[in-house]
Amino acid sequence: MLERSPVLAVPGEVGTARRHDSAPKHVSGEATYIDDIVAPAGLLHACLGLADRAHANIVALDLDRVRAAPGVVLVLTADDIPGANDVTPVTGHHDEPVFATDKVTFHGQPLFAVVARTRDAARRAARLAEAIYVDLPPVLDVAAARTAGAGYVTAGMTLTRGDAPAALAAAPRRIKGRVTIGGQDHFYLEGQVALAIPGEDGDVLVHASTQHPTEVQHMVARVLGVPFGAVTVEVRRMGGGFGGKETQGNLFAAVAALAATKLCRPVKIRPDRDDDMIATGKRHDFVIDYEIGHDDEGRILAVEATYAARCGHSADLSGPVTDRALFHADNCYFIPDVHLSSEPWRTNTVSNTAFRGFGAPQGMVGAERFIDEIAYATGRDPLDIRLLNLYGQGGAGDVRSITPYHQTVEDNIAPELIAELERRSQYRARRAAIRAWNAQSRVLKRGIALTPVKFGMSFTATQYNQAGALVHVYTDGSVQLNHAGTEMGQGLHVKVAQVVAGALGIGIDAVAITATSTGKVPNTSATAASSGSDLNGMAALDACETIKARLAAFAAGHWGVDPAAVAFLPGRVRVGTEEVAFADLVCAAYGARVQLSATGFYRTPKIHWDRTSGRGHPFYYFAYGAACAEVVVDTLTGEYRVERADILHDVGRSLNPAVDRGQIEGGFIQGMGWLTTEELWWDGQGRLRTHAPATYKIPVASDRPRVFNVDLFEGENRENTIGRSKGVGEPPLMLGISVLHALSDAVASVADHSLCPRLDTPATPERVLFAVQALRERAGP
C-alpha cells in the first residue's frame, strides 16, 4: 500500500488546471524582466571586451582608445578585482576567470569590461581595444582533443556491472558503431542580464537572470572579497533558462557588481544576442563509440561504450553532465553486462554547461541507437526490440531491474505506458500502411518510431536536494509566499502557490508570489534537475503545516475544544461545532500573539551516491514517457516534415495539468529542434559562426507536428512527493528522440530496412540526404 501523501485542505487547488500566474503579463508585455526595471538614478551600462582568438598567449592589451571613447566612465580588467578573479562554479577547479590575463583559451573569452553612460557607448568602446597575441594551435573538437592529448576538464567516470568483455566475446552477435550527437544553444528569449545596485557598508543588491541565486551570491562575494551576507541576489522571473542560466549568469552578475561597487552607482550589463551566444556555454556535443552483444532474438547481452564530450576550456558542470549521460545510457533497457565510461575532453571552445536534461538526452540517444542497430541486424520492428529489452518490475529476486549504477528500478511503468501509447497511436496499423505507401512512392518516404523515456529525478550532487521556504500570513488572511525556486516560465510559482492555497484552505488569489531572494530564503539550490516542484512544494507545505499547527492550538484553547476537533476547510476553519472564516481566525490569533510566519524545509529522502565505486541510489524516483512520431522525407533533397506526434507522459498525479501539458509540448519541440535543425558550427580558427537567429535555426511554429496529441498518463508517484506528483521540466525533451528515429526509419526504407542508417545529429536536411545516399551505396544495386 502506498504511504499517504500530506493532506491538502483544498484538494481543488492542487491538481487544478490553472493558468501560469504571469501569463496575462507575458502576452500583454506587462511582465517585468530585469531590463524593464525602471532605471535607477545614475545608471551606467557595462559591456564585455571579448578575445578574437581561440588559443593564444596575450602579449599586450592596449585599452587607451577604450578609455578615451565618448561616454566611457571606467574600464575594468583583472587588476581591478579586489577579491578573486574567479567565477568557477565547481569547487576545486578555479579555471574560469572573470577576465583572462596571460592566455586566451576560447574565442570570445572576456578580457575586460567597459562601463559607460549608455549601452551604445559601452558597446562601441569595447570594440576599440588593441591586443597583441602569440597564437597557439587550437583544439576544437573531440577528435582533435584525442589526437593532441588535450586532457580532461575533470575526472571521467566508469559504471560497470558484470563482465562486459567476456559477455561480448560469448555473444552470438556483435555490433560496433559510433554516433555523433550535436550540441545546442539555449536561445532563451531574455538574454543574460544583471543589474547591480550598491548599498551601504559594501552591500550590493544584484538583480540577476539566474536559476541559481545562491551561486551568483557566492561568485559576486568571491570577486568583491566580501562575505556572502553582503550580497543579496533577487530573481522575479526569467525569460527562459533551460540550464543556460544555472552557471552562465555568474560572470555578468560579477561584472555588474564589481563596477557598481567601484563607482557607487547602479550598473547594468546586457550583452547583445551575438555576444551572448559567443561567450556562453552550450549543450555538450558527444561522440559515443559502442560495441553491443545480443542474441538472435534481439535481446541485449552486453554493452561497452565510451561517451566522449566536447567540454570547452573549463570544467563548469561537465563532470556531472557527463556522469548523467552514463546514468541514462540504459534508458528503459536492462543490460546484463555493461561497461560505460565518460571522457570529458578539454577544448578551446566556450565551456559547455547545463542544458535541459543535463547529459541524459545524449545518453538516451545512444541507448536508442543500440536498439536500432539490433533491430536492423535481426530484421525486427524496433519497437519489438524495445519491448524485449525493457527493465523488469523490480520485485524480489528480479535481476532484470538493476541499473549499471546498481540502483534497483522499483517503479517501472514503462511496459504499461508504452502499451497504452501503442494502442492510442495505432502504431502497428500505421507502420504497415507506411511500408505499403513507401513501396509505391519513389521519392517521398515515410517513417515512424515509438521511443520511451526513463529519467532519474534528483540532483546527483546530493547536497542540492534540499530547499527552504518562508510563508507569511497577514491579519486579513492573505499570504505571502517566498521559496528557493526560480521562475523561468515553467510555472513553478503557480504550482507552489497552489500547494500553499490548498494547505491553508484559501483561494490561490489570496497567495502573493514574491521574487526569489537570498535575503529571504538562504542557501538555495539551483532550480534544475526537474526538482523545482518536488523540493520547493514540500518546503512550502512544511511552513504551512507549522502555521496551521499554531492556529489549531490557538483555536482549540480559545474555543475550549480538543485540537483534533479543528479542521481546515475551504475558506474557513471548523472548530468543534462552529465554523470560523480563515481571516477571522488569523486576526484573532494575532491578537493572542500567535506567530503567523514560518520557515519550511525539505530534504529528499533515500538518495545516496558513491562516485568512486559507481554505486548508489542517486535518484529518488523515475519519470517515464513515450512518443510516437511520423515523418515524411524527400529523398532527393533531404527535406522532411513531421506529420504527427502522439505523446503519453508520466507526471504522477499532476499538480497543474495545464502547466504540465505546456511543459511536455515545449520540451518535445525543443528536443526535436536539438536533434533536427539546431546546428552549432565553429570554423577552423575556433570562431562560432552560428551566433544569431540568421545562422542558428530553432524550431518555429510551422515545424510543429501537423497532428499533435499529448496526454498525461494516469497514475501517481509511488514515492511521497508533493501531491504524489512527478517532475516534468526535463523528461519531455527526450520525447523528441522519436522524431530522429522516425527519420531513420524513413531513410532506411531506401534499402528496404536491411541496414541501420546510423543517422547522426542534428539530422538536418543535408545530413538526411547524405544518409540516404550512403545507404543506397551500402545497399548496392
The catalytic residues are 730
In contact, 484 and 469? CB cutoff 8 Å: yes
Q: Long-range pairs for 576-583 at CB < 8 Å and ≥24 separation?
A: 580/555, 581/477, 582/477, 582/504, 582/505, 582/506, 583/475, 583/476, 583/477
Instruction: Calculate helix-pair angle for 414-425, 427-440, nearest 10 degrees.
Output: 50
Which DSSP state fits 390? B
d(CA 560, CA 93): 62
Peptide bond connecting 11 to the previous residue in cis, omega within 30 degrees of 0 = no
Q: Burial of 7 by CB count in 10 Å (0-12 exposed, 13-18 middle, 19+ buried)?
A: exposed
DSSP strands (E only) in 266-377: 267-269, 285-294, 300-312, 337-346
Q: How far is CA 89 from CA 246, 348, 615, 742, in A?
A: 9, 19, 25, 39
- What gap in Å lies between CA 98 and CA 337, rounded to an integer? 45
608 forms bridges with which residues in the sheet? Answer: 617
What nine digits make up the cell of 749? 526504407
* Strand, coil or helix: 608: strand
C-alpha–C-alpha distance, residues 763 and 744, integer Å: 9
Q: How far apart are CA 28 and CA 39, in angstroms?
A: 21
Give, for 189, the enclosing helix (H) or strand (E).
none
Residue 455 backbone phi and psi in degrees, to 5: -120, 125
Contact 381, 608 (CB under 8 A): no
Q: How many CA atoms lie within 13 A of 350 on its CB side?
A: 32
DSSP of 216-264:
HHHHHHHHHT--GGGEEEEES--S--TTTTTSTHHHHHHHHHHHHHHHT
Burial of residue 612 (number of CB atoms within 10 Å: 0-12, 13-18, 19+): exposed
* Cα-only R_g, the chain: 27
Q: How far is CA 669 from CA 166, 391, 676, 732, 737, in A?
A: 41, 27, 10, 9, 10
CA distances 428 to 377, 383, 435, 440, Å, are 20, 10, 11, 19
- All three cell numbers of 294: 545480443
- Beta bridge partners, 292, equal 175, 303
The three cell numbers locating residue 583: 481571516
Please give the Cα distance from 626 to 646 (Å, whole number). 8
Q: How far apart are CA 20 and CA 25, in angstroms?
A: 10
Contacts of 549 (CB under 8 A, 6+ apart): none
Write down how long the chain is. Answer: 781
CB contact set of 298 (below 8 Å; sequence gap of 6+)? 374, 375, 377, 378, 380, 384, 385, 388, 389
